[in-house]
Structure 1
């Protein structure tokens, strides 16, 4: 049963009193606290009816609330302070809200603003207040595109508060709300109609917008003050639509793309080249004057997406744009976060999440040092790190607006060949064979401190002398000082007895190579160091390694990929590497260096049939 008004609620209550002699049945009594149960048991049926009337009158008088159909947000009400304002004071406040969207939001929609505004929301408030606050003489509407992280509460402003602002102050006459599906756009419009019917303070200050207008469908309404709002899905016809003499004068485009749309070349071309360029951008229909404003907000789903292209001033020079990341700066102490990740993912610990949280709280100050996020109250660093460590592609796409373009990946996840290094008899035979040779490579870092700065990556390969198979037996990614890198290489050499170990010597990385040579001589642990200078870019170098990963010449440990966070991170870097602005590629370089040492002058791919 759906109840929309207090009158309907009174009917239900009276029927309830008749059915249960004015007292709640026993199975409902447990939902009341002790004091409420005591009072109700002492009352007669008439007393119950009387007290419910008292409660209704008190709430109606103090808060002017309505019982709202399907309303899952806090009911708006008129406070005591508001009732004490004079008419002139209210008029002054209403007038001020006309020019400032944030002031309008704070006054009428506190139920949407439960947390402090984040950077994205502040940007949206600022843009729209500047563009639509005070009337301007202009010959062209504005074009704005914002790339915002997922779950940054952008839709509350853009698809609910903005159209209501335009309705209440008659800023627009024909608004079109667009989303990736018509049903999603309808959901946005339903939030607007709900406020027009149930927001007590809004309707008090703007009584001329209250209730249903001449048209009141789920996907298309005309308000009491004659503003039309239409909800449409991506691809729906826009050009040619009119409301009397008015063409659409505001397009709100909120998450109009989906991953499927971006991945499909045919859908992508149809939406971008036909619908957007030929329909959306010509919605005004008047070549001499284009006063339609377009506000586009969403999350970048790929480098072929429409939003990604709108951010490029060379492709769309008449558009203004901005892009936001959830993590503005990562914390300095990533070594502590690595330890936390090991605790969080320890499958042998049934209390792993609790213990990881405990570790975080004990080291919270150090673990958050240097970190900067756009919304610490709504999307804290701890929550973001869970996504970062355990769903890296989703993190970069959904939170950083830096999606990985699958068409530019050199190695896909399905290209990786996994074997059970600890149980596969053939693999164990290779590792136990004294003729198996080991090769290593390091992508060094030259920072003085081990807790900040770049990662260094050490890769170790075992080469089978018969088949030429290369087993990735170890990946070691850490932030560490030069001294620690030297120590770790020497320690690994005592374990693997490298035939050759390659160190990149470009620029200051030569320091590591020299220190490694000196220390190995002093300790009597003679690491066979081979220094190299890299002249090709990383993408070209890895293009020479990728075919050997794909054909199964280079194989990986299934156990280490699941249990060892450093090893798993290295694989993540390999399968997300594009060679175009990758933030993490240390493992790619280290693997390439170890591979260059392992391959012979006449090295050939190993076909499956020859193994």
Structure 2
């Protein structure tokens, strides 16, 4: 029998003390071995699933559990142990271990203790679910499990990337929801179904996939089990109209709901000052200066703050200390829309304005210090119902990488007049080297005419690049939000109509040409590659 090391013994005694008195622990240690089929490790893992995770899946559960994680584990475990059918939704932030808990710890515990006979977990796609199945397989083949529970793998039984059957006849299978679900019933129906993050980015950007998911959930997934089947739905609230949002409000479902930040600072004024320091792209030491400001005002800046998981950012593994401070760093990086959606489970309504905080520039760097592009989203003509033709001259400062909307225009003009306006802009801003031209159907012909006109004007240095949108327009525009909010994209206050259309943008907005061409220009200027440096060969080569 393998001996436990000091760390494992301390772990065992720590969790034993949560359930037994000192005298009871002494009696247990005297009468039972620490490991093996009748060992204390196995017995304690059955009654305390948190200890089970630490003892048998320690590579996935290295950090301390937050209170919320303990609640999720105990609630799902109690659901499995009850005789009644349980429908439980767990809505938790990203990067808080909810999938590891629900799709690894829970099915692994239910399998080795034989609490369920057929465990099925379904994710957004087969690759994600297969990844968790691989982790379960690895855990079932670990030395600790073999020592305490015996060999789980039987060569005569299924054990592959789609499913496994333990030596005791417990099935664990996985699937993506877009795969065929009707054939997943084995000799019996699943008695535990775990749904993990069914809605990924691809689904949320496609109305047709959202409808397909709704149909799969109502017509197939919900009918896979029987009257005693427990169903756990784990995810993050990506939209107010998402499937998870509807499920958690249905009377047949219980819900555990969590937010990354439980309460915010009482006074945000100091954090506003911190943001101005952190966002100052002209200051190469801005990140350290911002942290110094935080350290000097830490007490006041954290007054009223409470986060969901203090242990999420181990102090020996991060440069800047403090859970809330690191959350604020991620908030700056990802933007407000992502923060409220991914961390707070409060997704911005599709009706809300997402680019409403435009910042303008007072002075403009020299054009020779910037990469300059022109984005063009052409329209057909000047009828009142036609879309605007949108033009955006966007410059990227080479040193700070800040972007400047030097000129933004909206016009309802025929193609020949639009081409003349483009030529005029190229003459006005000779630093323009690339024109990004949104090209769908007839627009490609306008682009060809533009190339010909540039040749006639002998503007050979200007490249016309056809751009064909490949993703959902709203999703593309949403990606601009963090850069606009942080002031990494600055606007020309004189471009009133262009700026107002950007500010007024929301899902389903009547006019979206300005934010659309801004996104096109942003991708264009970010795609410009730096020229390779040419080094002279040393003398004698």
Q: Equivalent residues in 2 for 1:32-431 (5 A)?
A: 88-90=32-34, 91=38, 92-133=40-81, 136-138=82-84, 141-198=85-142, 200-209=143-152, 214-244=157-187, 246-272=188-214, 274-284=215-225, 290-312=227-249, 316-378=250-312, 380-389=323-332, 391-406=335-350, 408-409=351-352, 411=353, 413=355, 422=363
The answer to which of 261-270 and 95-104 deviates more is: 95-104
User: What secondary structure is seen at the aligned counterpart in 2 of 1:377?
Assistant: helix
1:309-355 superposed Cα distances (whole Å, 9 cap, x missing partner): 1121xxx2111112211011111232211111111111121111111
> Using the alignment, how far apart are the partners of 2:150 and 2:252 within structure 1?
39
In 2 relative to 1, CA 156–346 (structure 1 residues): closer, same or farther, beyond 3 Å?
A: same
1:456-487 superposed Cα distances (whole Å, 9 cap, x missing partner): xxxxxxxxxxxxxxxxxxxxxxxxxxxxxxxx
1:136-168 superposed Cα distances (whole Å, 9 cap, x missing partner): 443xx2101111000001122111111111111
Q: CA RMSD in A?
A: 3.7
Preserved contact between residue 234 and residue 257 of structure 1 (Cα < 8 Å): no
Q: Tell me by how many angstroms 1:388 deviates.
A: 3.2
Which of 1 and 2 has higher RCO (CA within 8 Å, sep 6+)?
2
Preserved contact between residue 421 and residue 559 of structure 1 (Cα < 8 Å): no
Larger Rg: 1
> Using the alignment, how far apart are the partners of 1:276 and 1:292 within structure 2?
15
User: What secondary structure is seen at the aligned counterpart in 1 of 2:174?
Assistant: strand
Q: Equivalent residues in 2 for 1:544-563 (5 A)?
A: 561-562=487-488
Q: Which has the higher helix share?
A: 1
Q: Tell me by how many angstroms 1:418 deviates.
A: 8.3
> Using the alignment, how far apart are the partners of 2:505 and 2:42 within structure 1?
52
> Using the alignment, how far apart are the partners of 1:185 and 1:81 within structure 2?
30
> Using the alignment, how far apart are the partners of 2:357 and 2:263 within structure 1?
31
Q: How many residues align structurally? A: 354
> Using the alignment, how far apart are the partners of 1:177 and 1:85 within structure 2?
37
> Using the alignment, how far apart are the partners of 1:174 and 1:422 within structure 2?
66
User: What secondary structure is seen at the aligned counterpart in 1 of 2:179?
Assistant: coil
User: What secondary structure is seen at the aligned counterpart in 1 of 2:311?
Assistant: coil
Q: Moved runs in structure 1, 4+ residues, more than 6 A?
A: 60-64, 80-84, 415-419, 573-578
In 2 relative to 1, CA 576–79 (structure 1 residues): closer, same or farther, beyond 3 Å?
A: farther
Q: Tell me by how many angstroms 1:561 deviates.
A: 4.7
Structure 2: 5+ residue stretches without partners: 14-27, 314-322, 366-483, 494-499, 508-541
In 2 relative to 1, CA 86–183 (structure 1 residues): closer, same or farther, beyond 3 Å?
A: farther
Q: Equivalent residues in 2 for 1:447-462 (5 A)?
A: none
Q: Tell me by how many angstroms 1:101 deviates.
A: 2.0
User: What secondary structure is seen at the aligned counterpart in 2 of 1:130?
Assistant: helix
In 2 relative to 1, CA 80–405 (structure 1 residues): closer, same or farther, beyond 3 Å?
A: closer
